[in-house]
């Protein structure tokens, strides 16, 4: 595989950016080697700076549910752009995207657009605190909610603990407001509610945790969270930045038919542009300024170009059988991959999200169930896949995504690439 161009570009990038990148996982540290620099994409394919072609299952980490450079999205974006790229004043397009989302989603009544998933979650936490007048939040080990201070917290050693920071630069005083417990553990949550009675503003969870492997929870567990939150007047916050519009148009809330109090969105919502959102009932959203006293603002919020990309993409997602087709293709891939594996290798999936895991377990439902050693196998697999034209996120903790653009032929080729990779494992 040629990689001279990527290597040169990376050397140059290292002189400009910490680690040579603008987001850490892109540096390939967990798989080793040089990141491939992408030149262009179309449909299911991407091409790197050395001209290598890959079938892409990273999809920009989830947003590209229609594949790369979708014509409908491009046309919408171009048309909007010609009339100016930003006004900092309201536009018709914000109404259109909001109408599209809210009229097809029974779990929310009002929404606020922001510019990233991190921003959506950070604002939603402030909203939960403002609405309840409480300060503590409860999160789960193995769920990712972006990089705001209160959420860069990992579990300490006890059953119910304040976390420890997972980043330097996060003050202890922030960490002391965040309680961290294991996923799939009811008694830890019960104990937290006893210990911090009337202090927990919200419980935040990725209802289908997909940022640290794919840690599929039982519906009964999510229902348990719903019930204990209601009983304690604590808000339940579903962080659907990755699940939203991916597991069906109504995300995980619709998939499990559980109504959270606040939902955050990102990734798919912006059609490949930087958009996030948080949404809730009219009552809860009335706390947000200028209606209420929870402040939140953004110079580029509701950006017209990004809104039109979102409208174009989500309109496609609403086509009949859109999600069924994605799931069928995902199942086809999984079936093909499962036939020729002998390496304690499993593929977990929901809808069009899948996760490659080296394990003997039939279920992995908490971060502690992932063996760090298994990542060595992933590392080897990763480079064989690259060499055979398959691009997935460069970390064994990341999931893969099927897009509308993937074809049966892509899937056959992917299965072949895995066959070759497995032979050399
Ligand atoms: C990606 C992600 C975020 C962060 O979104 P950014 O746009 O990267 O800031 C937050 N929560 C979840 C569940 C995510 O998957």
Is residue 261 part of the annotated active site? The answer reads no
Cα-based torsion angle of the residue sequence 40, 354, 214, 111 in order, rounded to the nearest 10 degrees: 60
> Residue 386, class by beta-carbon neighbours within 10 Å (0-12 exposed, 13-18 middle, 19+ buried)?
buried
pLDDT given for residue 143 in this prediction? 97
301 lines ligand 1 (CB under 6 A): no
Q: Is the Cα torsion angle 51, 52, 58, 61 positive or negative in sign?
A: negative
The domain boundary, picked from 271, 290, 317, lies at: 317
Provide DSSP, 276-336: EEEEE-HHHHTTBTTTSSB----TTTT-HHHHHHHHHHHHHHTSTTHHHHHHHHHHHHHHH
pLDDT given for residue 344 in this prediction? 84
* 304 and 230 housed in the same domain: yes
* 297 and 162 housed in the same domain: yes
Residue with CA nearest ligand 1 atom 15: 242
CB 33 within 8 A of CB 383: yes
pLDDT given for residue 342 in this prediction? 67
The domain boundary, picked from 262, 295, 317, lies at: 317
Compute, in angstroms, the gap from residue 114 CA to the centroid of ligand 1: 12
From 23, 242, 273, 400, mutation site for ligand 1 pocket: most ligand atoms within 8 A of C-beta: 242
Could you say which residues of the chain have pLDDT below 50? none
Question: CB 93: neighbour CB atoms within 10 A?
Answer: 20
* 189 and 226 housed in the same domain: yes
How many domains does one find in the chain? 2
Distance CA 357, CA 348 (A): 8
Region of 387 please: left (phi>0), alpha (psi -120 to 50) or beta.
alpha
Distance CA 78, CA 355 (A): 35
Compute, in angstroms, the gap from residue 266 CA to the centroid of ligand 1: 7
Per-residue burial over 311-343, b = 16 or more CB atoms within 10 Å of its CB, e = otherwise: bbbbbbbeeeebbeebbebbebbbebbeeebee
Q: Annotated catalytic residue: which of 57, 107, 144, 397?
A: 144
pLDDT given for residue 343 in this prediction? 66
CATH number for the domain including 132? 3.40.640.10
* 303 and 331 housed in the same domain: no
Region of 87 please: left (phi>0), alpha (psi -120 to 50) or beta.
alpha
* 309 and 374 housed in the same domain: no
* 95 and 236 housed in the same domain: yes
pLDDT given for residue 112 in this prediction? 99
* 123 and 262 housed in the same domain: yes
Sequence-separated (6 or more) residues with CB below 8 Å from residue 415: 333, 336, 337, 340
The domain boundary, picked from 270, 298, 317, lies at: 317
* 19 and 102 housed in the same domain: no
* 199 and 136 housed in the same domain: yes
CB 127 within 8 A of CB 262: yes
Is residue 54 part of the annotated active site? The answer reads no
* 242 and 261 housed in the same domain: yes
246 lines ligand 1 (CB under 6 A): no
Tokens of 333: 């891939």
Residues constituting the chain: 425
Report which of 396, 349, 354, 393 is spatially closest to residue 371, judged by C-alpha positions: 396
Distance CA 159, CA 338 (A): 36
* 334 and 312 housed in the same domain: no
Where in the sequence is the domain holding 189, given as residue range(s)? 72-317
Distance CA 335, CA 175 (A): 43
Question: CB 77: neighbour CB atoms within 10 A?
Answer: 22
The number of the ligand 1 atom at minimal distance from the alpha carbon of 264 is 11
CATH number for the domain including 19? 3.90.1150.10
Q: What are the two backbone dihedrals, phi and then psi, of residue 116, each rounded to the nearest 5 degrees?
A: -160, 170
Residue with CA nearest ligand 1 atom 8: 117
Q: Is the Cα torsion angle 227, 237, 372, 334 positive or negative in sign?
A: positive
Is residue 239 part of the annotated active site? The answer reads yes
313 lines ligand 1 (CB under 6 A): no
* 192 and 282 housed in the same domain: yes
């Amino acid at each position: 595989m040629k990689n001279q161009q990527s290597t040169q570009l990376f050397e140059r990038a290292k002189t400009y950016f910490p680690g040579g990148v603008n987001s850490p996982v892109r540096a390939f540290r967990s798989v080793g080697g040089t990141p491939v620099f992408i030149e262009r994409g179309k449909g299911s394919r991407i091409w790197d700076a050395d001209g290598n072609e890959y079938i892409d299952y990273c999809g920009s980490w989830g947003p590209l549910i229609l594949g790369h450079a979708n014509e409908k999205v491009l046309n919408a974006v171009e048309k909007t752009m010609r009339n100016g790229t930003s006004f900092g004043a309201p536009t018709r397009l914000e109404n259109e995207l909001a109408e599209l989302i809210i009229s097809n989603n029974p779990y929310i009544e009002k929404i606020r657009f922001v510019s990233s998933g991190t921003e959506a979650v950070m604002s939603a936490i402030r909203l939960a605190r403002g609405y309840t007048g409480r300060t503590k939040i409860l999160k789960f080990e193995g769920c990712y909610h972006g990089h705001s201070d209160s959420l860069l917290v990992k579990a300490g050693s006890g059953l119910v603990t304040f976390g420890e920071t997972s980043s330097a630069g996060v003050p202890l005083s922030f960490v002391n407001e965040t309680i961290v417990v294991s996923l799939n553990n009811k008694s830890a949550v019960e104990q937290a509610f006893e210990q911090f009675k009337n202090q927990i503003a919200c419980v935040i969870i990725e209802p289908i945790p997909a940022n640290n492997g794919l840690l599929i929870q039982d519906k009964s567990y999510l229902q348990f969270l719903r019930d204990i939150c209601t009983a304690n007047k604590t808000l339940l916050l579903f962080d659907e930045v990755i699940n939203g519009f991916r597991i069906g148009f109504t995300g995980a809330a619709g998939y499990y038919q559980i109504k959270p109090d606040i939902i955050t969105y990102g990734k798919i919502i912006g059609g490949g542009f930087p958009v996030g959102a948080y949404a809730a009932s009219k009552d809860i959203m009335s706390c947000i300024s200028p209606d209420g006293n929870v402040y939140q603002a953004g110079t580029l919020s509701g950006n017209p170009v990004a809104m039109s990309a979102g409208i174009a993409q989500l309109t496609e997602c609403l086509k009949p059988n859109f999600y069924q087709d994605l799931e069928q293709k995902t199942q086809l891939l999984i079936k093909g991959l499962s036939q020729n594996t002998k390496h304690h290798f499993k593929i977990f999936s929901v809808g069009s999200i899948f996760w490659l895991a080296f394990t003997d377990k039939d279920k992995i439902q908490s971060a502690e169930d992932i063996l760090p050693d298994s990542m060595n196998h992933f590392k080897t697999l990763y480079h064989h896949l690259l060499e055979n034209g398959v691009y997935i996120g460069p970390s064994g903790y990341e999931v893969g995504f099927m897009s509308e653009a993937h074809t049966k032929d892509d899937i056959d080729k992917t299965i072949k690439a895995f066959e070759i990779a497995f032979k050399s494992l």
